[in-house]
Structure 1
C-alpha cells in the first residue's frame, strides 16, 4: 500500500511538471507578443508543444526528479531541476533549428520558457515544503522551551534547521566567538554575540537550556564552554565530534547532556595499536585486582587486542562474578579464567601461573583508600601492597613471565600517607627484582585519580547531591589530578608495550583540579544552586596532603614517542632491600599504626607522615576560620 501511494504521488508530480511545461510554453508566447498571440503563431505553438512535452518528459525522468519527496525538497533537488530544464531547453533549440517549423519559434520564447519553467518547478516545491512544515510544526514552535545554540558553524546551522521543526524547543538565538558571524542570521535566527556573553544573554532571554555545537573545536575550547554553561546556571547539552550519520539520522539524535568529563577537558588518547597488538595478540594475559575499577577496564581494553586467554585474579568473589558475566557475553571467543584468590597466596599463584603460563601480568591489586589505610588497617596496606606485589612478581619470575607491569599512584611521590609509602615500596621491590631477573621485564606505571573509580571523590559527591547535600570537601585549596578510567587503562597498555625493563612510566595527567571547584561545578551540573546544596569543608583526613605530585624532587623524566607518556629516573634502590625487607613483612605479629609509620621511614626515606588534624582544626575549617 505504501509503495502504491509513493508511485501515485510520483505520477502526480510528473503530471504537474508537464502541465507547468505547457503553461510556461504558451505564457512565453503571450509575453513575446505582449498580449494576444497572432493566430498562425498560436497554432504553431500548439503544434510544437507536443514534441516539447516529450523532450521535457524524458529529461525529467532521466534526471530522477521524482526520487525525492517535495516535503524534503532542498538544494540537490533544485540542482536536478536546473540540469533537466537546461538540457531540455538545449534539445528544444536544436530541434527547432532542425525541423524549421512554420512559423518559426521566436528566439525570445526559446529563452524565456525554460526560465519560467525553472521558477515554476522550483518555486512550487519550495512553497509546498514551507506550507507542509508550517502545518506540521508551525503551531508548536512558540510552545517549545527556549534554547540557545553555541556555535554558528556548519553543525550549528544544521541544528538550527532541525530546531525550526521541533515542537519541544524554540530557538532563541545563537552565540559564536567569530566576530564575522556576530550580528548575522542563520535561517532567520540571529547570532547574538560571543559565547562569553552566555550568562547575560541567558538571563535577558530567560533561557535555561543551551546546545554546544562546536564538534571540531579543541578539547580546551570544549572545557571552557562547558564550564561557562555550568557557571551560568543553564542546562547544557553537547553535540559531540561528528562521525558519519546513518541515513535519516538527525543532528539532534546525537546531542547528549554534558558531563564531568566535558568540564575536565581531557584530550582523547591515541594508542599505537600495532605495538600493543604485538604484546597482547594471541597471548595469555593475567590481571590481578581484575574486579576493581582499573583492573576491570584493563580487562576490557586487553580483550580488544585478541589475547588467546585472559586470567582475571581478584580476592572479591562478587567483583569477579560481575566481570565474568560481562566479558563472557561481550567476548565469547576469548577463554576467560576467573580466579578468586589473595595476591599474598604463593601456592595459588604458582598453581595459576604454572597452569596457564601468562606472557604478561598486570598487577593492579592494591588497597588504595588513603584514610582507611592510614589508621587501624595500615599493616594490611603494607602486607597487601608490598608483600602481595613481591609474591606476584616472584611467581612471575619463577614461571618465566616476559612482562610484569605494576600499577602505581602519584601518592607514591614524596608520600605523606601509608598507602602512598606502601606503593613506593612496591615500586622499589620491582626495581630490585629487575636487577636480578633479566628474563622478566618490570615496568611501573604511575598516575593519579581516575573518574568514577571505587572510593573516589566523584561517586561520593554524586551520592551527597542525590541526598540533597551537603557536599563535603576536606579543604578549600586541595587539588588533585584526574583522568578517565578508559584513558588510564589505554595508557597503561601503551606504556607496557614500550618498556625495556625497569622504567617508571608517568601518565600525562593534565592540570590539577581544585576539588572545591569540582564540587560546585558538579552541583550546578545537576541543576542545583549553591544555596540549595552547600559545600562544607571538613578538614584534611589522616594521611592527606593538599597537592599531589607525579615526580619526586630529585627525579627527572625523559620523553617517549607517545605524547602522554614520560619515563622517570627514580632513586637508586639498595641491593639488599628485599633481604632486609622480607623479615619485617613476614613477622608473626601485627604492628601498631605508629610502628608501621616509624618503620616505613627506614625503607622509604622520603616518607613524611602528616599530622592528623585535630577536632578544633576541623571545626575552624567548617566555620571558615582556617585556610
Structure 2
C-alpha cells in the first residue's frame, strides 16, 4: 500500500479511470437485471451498445468536470455534487444516443436505475478508497493523535482537514451537546467532555485542539481550566472574525497564548472618542518603534490622520515601523504622509522645530526606558530619558501650541520601589503641573500594567524556557502582575486621550492580577508537560526561584489613593492624585538635572526621594559606575590602612637610633 501511495499522480488517475471503465458497464448491466428481473441473451443483445457506451460517455465527462483531478485522501462531501452532475449528463447523453441507435425504444426505467446506481457506485468507491488510504497512511504511527473539542461546523472542517494531512490524526470529537453524543462526524466519533480523561489514556491522545472560534474569551478560559489537569498539549483556533472566509484550516491552529488564559473579551471602541484627536489631524508618536508606540502607530494610521510623525532613537526600530506603516497605507489605499524622525525627546530644539513646522495637533508620548533592572543599574539615563525627556517635550508642545499631549505611564509609578517607576511618576507630576499653569495644551496620562508580547515580557521568556526543557526562572513564588494585550492597551490609550480635561490620570481596568507562578504552571500543563516536584517524569519542567531583582515589587498597584471615578468608557477610570505646583517642581527639577550632569548619584537619589514622595527604594544605588568607584575607593582605603599599619610597626625607635 505504501508503494501505491508513492505512485505518481497520473498513474493514480489512470487506475481510477480504469476502475470506472470496468465497473460502469457492470453497473449498467445490473440496472438492466433489476428492471427486468431476469437475464436473457436477448436482453443483453438489446442493451449491449448501451453497456459499452456507459464508460465511453461517462469517463470524458468526469474528466471535464475534474473528478479525476481530486486527490482521494482530501475529498469531502462536495464531491457528491460533481458526481451527480457528471452521472446526470452521461445518462442524458446515453438516452439521446439510444434514440438514434435503436429502432425499438429502450426502457426509461433502466436509465433511471442506472442513474441512481452509478451515483452510488462512484461516490461510495471514492469514499471507501479515501478511508482505506487514510488508514494505510496512518500505520506508520508518525501522526500526532489528537482530540478535537467542538463538534460543530468548525470541528467538522478541522477533522476533515486533519484527516487529509500527515501531521495529525483525529481520534475523537468532544462536545457537550447531548444530541451529538455517539454520532460520527467526518469519520470521527463524538464523545462528552466527561470522557476525555479516559479517552486520553485509551487512545493515547497527545493534543487537544479547541475548535470553537466563535466562543467568548471568558467561556474559552473555563474550558481551558477543565483541560489543564489532563497534562496534554492544548491548541486553539483564532476568533471566527480572523478566519479566511470563515473556513477553518490546519494552519489556523495555534498554541495557547496568555490572552487565552486571561479570559478578557475585547470591548468595542467608542468611535467618537477614538477619532476625535486623530482623524484629519497631524499626530506625533514618540518611541514609535517600541512595543506600545508601534501599535499606537498601526491603529492611528487606520483612523486616517492628515499626517503621522514618528520619533525614535533606534534606527532599526524606526525603519521597521515606517516600512510596516507604508504597507498598511498601500493596503487601505490612503495617501497619509508618514514622516520618520531619528532623535531623542531630550533634543528640545529639534522637537520644537518638528512640532512647529508640521503644526502637530496631538502627541502620544511613549518614549521611555521601561526595563526595571536596567534602569536601576543606569539611573541617570533613566531619569534623563523618562522624566527630563518628558519635560523637554512638554515645553516644546506648549511653545508650538500642540492641542493634546498624552503620556503613556505605568502601574510602576504607583508607590514606586525602583528608579523606573519613580521617573514615570515624576513625568506624571511634570504634566500635572503644566496642566495647572497654562491652558494652551491639554495634558493627560494613561496608566496601565504589563502588556503581553512587549519586549522584556515574561510570557515569551517562559515559552522559550519550556521549549528548551526548562528550567523556568521565576523571581519569587508570590509575585503578581496585571496583564493586557498590546492592541487593547493602545486602543484604550487613544480613547482616554480624547477624554482628558487637563492633568487627568487615567487608569485602565486591567482585570484581576495574575500570580506569575500559577501562570508558569499553567503554561507547562497546557504544553502537555508536568512541573518537577509534582511528577517524576524525566521531561518534567523545573521552576527555579531566583529572587527579586533590584527595585522589583511583589505586587503592582494602579492607584496611589482611593479617589477614583468612572468615565464614559467602562474600562477607563479617572484618578485624582497629589500634585506639586510648577514653581516648586521647577526648582527641584533644575537641581535634579544639575546632579545628573555631575553624576552625583547620592544627590540624585536624595532629590528623587524628595520630589516623588511615595518613592520607597528597596535597594541601594545600583549604578555600575558608582558601585565600581565605591569598590575601588574602599579597596584603596583598605590598602592605605594596611600600609600605614606596616609603616608604624616597622618605624625605628629614635632613641635607639641616637644610641
Would you call these one fold, judging by a TM-score over 0.5?
A: yes
Partner of 1:556: 564
Matched, 1:540 2:542: no
Matched, 1:362 2:381: no
Q: Distance in 2 between matches of 1:8 and 1:510?
A: 62
Partner of 1:130: 128
Q: Distance in 2 between matches of 1:325 and 1:514?
A: 38
State the Cα RMSD in Å: 4.8
- Matched residue SS, 2:473: strand
Shift of 1:286: 1.2
Q: Distance in 1 between matches of 2:550 and 2:609?
A: 17
Shift of 1:405: 0.8
Shift of 1:385: 2.7
Matched, 1:609 2:613: no
- Matched residue SS, 1:506: strand
Shift of 1:558: 0.9
Shift of 1:30: 1.2
Shift of 1:481: 0.8
Partner of 1:152: 151
Q: Distance in 2 between matches of 1:85 and 1:28?
A: 19
Contact 2:24 2:118 survives alignment (8 Å): no
Shift of 1:308: 4.0
Contact 2:310 2:339 survives alignment (8 Å): yes
- Matched residue SS, 2:595: coil
Q: Distance in 2 between matches of 1:17 and 1:66?
A: 19
How is 1:281-296 mapped onto 2 (pairs within 5 angstroms)? 281-296=279-294
Q: How many residues matched?
A: 589
Shift of 1:363: 0.7
Partner of 1:300: 298
Task: Name whichever of 115-124 and 81-90 sits farther off.
Answer: 81-90
Partner of 2:489: 488
Task: Name whichever of 130-139 and 543-552 sits farther off.
Answer: 130-139
Shift of 1:153: 1.9
Match for residue 30 of structure 1 among 33, 36, 40: 36
Matched, 1:570 2:569: no
How is 1:386-425 mapped onto 2 (pairs within 5 angstroms)? 386-425=387-426
Q: Distance in 2 between matches of 1:313 and 1:81?
A: 62
Shift of 1:580: 0.5
Structure 1 residues 200 and 600: CA distance shift in structure 2, 3 A:
farther
Q: Distance in 2 between matches of 1:572 and 1:500?
A: 17
Q: What's the CA shift string for 1:95-151, capped at 9, x where partnerless?
A: xxxxxxx9999xxx8778635632432333222342255347634356333222222
Shift of 1:360: 1.0
Contact 2:76 2:160 survives alignment (8 Å): no
Structure 1 residues 244 and 387: CA distance shift in structure 2, 3 A:
closer
Contact 1:542 1:610 survives alignment (8 Å): no
Q: Distance in 2 between matches of 1:248 and 1:397?
A: 49
Contact 1:81 1:118 survives alignment (8 Å): no
Partner of 1:503: 504
Shift of 1:251: 2.2
Shift of 1:553: 3.3
Q: Which runs of 5+ in 1 are unaligned?
A: 93-101, 614-627
Contact 1:385 1:422 survives alignment (8 Å): yes
Partner of 2:630: none
Task: Name whichever of 406-415 and 498-507 sits farther off.
Answer: 498-507
Contact 2:234 2:255 survives alignment (8 Å): yes
Q: Distance in 2 between matches of 1:479 and 1:428?
A: 27
Partner of 2:278: 280
Shift of 1:476: 1.2
Q: What's the CA shift string for 1:499-540, capped at 9, x where partnerless?
A: 454433332322211111223344456666433542222333
Shift of 1:408: 0.8
Matched, 1:168 2:167: yes
Q: What's the CA shift string for 1:303-330, capped at 9, x where partnerless?
A: 3333343322233445435445554566
Q: Distance in 2 between matches of 1:80 and 1:317?
A: 57
- Matched residue SS, 2:402: coil
TM-score normalised per structure 1: 0.77
Q: What's the CA shift string for 1:211-247, capped at 9, x where partnerless?
A: 2212122212333444555654323332223459779
Matched, 1:589 2:595: yes
Shift of 1:73: 6.8
Partner of 2:644: none
Match for residue 212 of structure 2 among 188, 211, 214: 214
Match for residue 238 of structure 1 among 217, 236, 242: 236
Q: Distance in 1 between matches of 2:252 and 2:391?
A: 48
Shift of 1:183: 4.0
Partner of 1:444: 445
- Matched residue SS, 1:439: coil
Shift of 1:364: 0.9
Partner of 2:624: none
Q: Distance in 1 between matches of 2:16 and 2:182?
A: 42
Q: Which runs of 5+ in 2 are unaligned?
A: 1-9, 95-102, 533-539, 621-659
Q: Distance in 2 between matches of 1:126 and 1:248?
A: 29
Q: What's the CA shift string for 1:322-351, capped at 9, x where partnerless?
A: 445554566575544333333233222222
- Matched residue SS, 1:584: helix
Matched, 1:345 2:352: no
Shift of 1:601: 5.5
Q: Distance in 1 between matches of 2:288 and 2:79?
A: 56
Q: Distance in 2 between matches of 1:188 and 1:8?
A: 27
- Matched residue SS, 2:277: helix
Q: What's the CA shift string for 1:143-200, capped at 9, x where partnerless?
A: 3332222222222222222333333333332333334434443344333431x66455
Q: What's the CA shift string for 1:367-391, capped at 9, x where partnerless?
A: 32334444x6445444433332222
Contact 2:310 2:338 survives alignment (8 Å): yes
- Matched residue SS, 1:432: helix
